[in-house]
Structure 1
Amino acid sequence: MRKKMYYQEKERNDFIKKLEGAFDVLWKAKNELNEQGIPKITCEDIRDGNFQAYFEKYHKNEQSKSQITKNIIYGKYLELYGYNTEELSKLESSYKSYLNKEHSFYAINHSFYNYCETFWRQIAGLKEYADNPPKKKVFKLFDFMTIKGNDFTLDVPKELFTLYATNKKQLETMELVKEYVGVAKKLNLAAESIVEPLSSYLDVRKGGWGSVNNVGISEDLDRIDFDYNKILTIR
């Protein structure tokens, strides 16, 4: 049975927020179609993203109903009522970028194998993982999003953002680090004094301007920031 090491809540929330951007565009398109003379339309009606086609079908149908307008050139009919697809064109392009985008996830430990794929040339030991990753599964927007009327729900499996130990030694190492930090706290040692010997397991980053600094352990020794990319290479 696989043992969970860490759930990447922030990363999942960030991913969800990006997906929510698609509905924001869809909502704007619904409102724009309302402004362009099309009432009683819902986000569900236009979820396929063909906003301009919906606009054209509706207005050509409306034009044909009137004896006064049915023989007018379609473009002139739109001018007469002040309708146009300029904003809809922009919204359609934006929304379809969400529809067409593919989201690939490794079957297990996605962020780790993605890290290996990116940095195997710079960091020794990662090439073997980059060369032998688990299979990937490709998702698109509506694998996660459901739209009903003018409401939406998102179901992004936590599994995609969960890291699992691949052997017993990784879990044992994490427990040993916790014990080490626990002893250091009882001895009133400063966090800085124990970071160096634990640096092979902690998220320690020292950056310059604009970079994120992280010392791996909180000053009160209550929080340990493991570097799971390091932990997952332990055998």
Structure 2
Amino acid sequence: MPSLNTSVLTDAVVLVTGANGGIGTHFVHEALARGASKVYATARNPRTWGDDRIVPLTLDVTDPASVRAAVEAAQDTTVLINNAGASTPTPGILSHTDEEIRHNVETNFLGPLFLARAFAPVLSAKEESVLIDIHSALSWYAVAGIYSATKAALWSATNSLRLELAAGNVHVVGVHVGYVDTPMAAHSTEPKTAPADLVATVFDAVQAGEYEVLADETSVNLKAGLSAPVEAIYPQLKRVSA
């Protein structure tokens, strides 16, 4: 485990993507509660927050020009949280249009990757900095089709980023969680993690110097099952081959 300063959020300058959403809003407020001096609350259509420490910033993670503008505006960033994401109303890959597939790939994978690449010189120039990528338990469980695929790709990219950025003292944290109680998961009747609990768990892990967050039992169980045969992970395959 790295020797990350346990006060890494004290006086930090945090940039949160997807800040208007349920999880993003909690990241904004909890960062300040833990000592951050400023939070860039980014969104395609940023809102007002009524707090001088919160700086609304326009950012579309799928738009290269928007990413460049955000980097120029937020050169003091010490903690980057890749939280913005997209999903599809139904599972599967073959059933989705080209546009739906590209939107998920650009939002869930290319967006966070390109943003991390753009901010890498900014973060590496600091004495201590953090990159947090929000994956999903579905990174390890392909039942969500294109959504699972993009989150699996982000998980792999996060592992690569962790290795490449270590020399610049950038601590990279990957977060896995199942359903979170936000509008994106409104369709599900499965147990859901409260956004505030997820964010607290993530920041606790950051301050403890951890590399990976398994935020719920679903994530713990899915990672533990990765070494099992494919048929054990997806029992429906046995029925198909029977």
Q: How does the TM-score come out when normalised to structure 2?
A: 0.24
Higher relative contact order (CA 8 A, sep 6+): 1
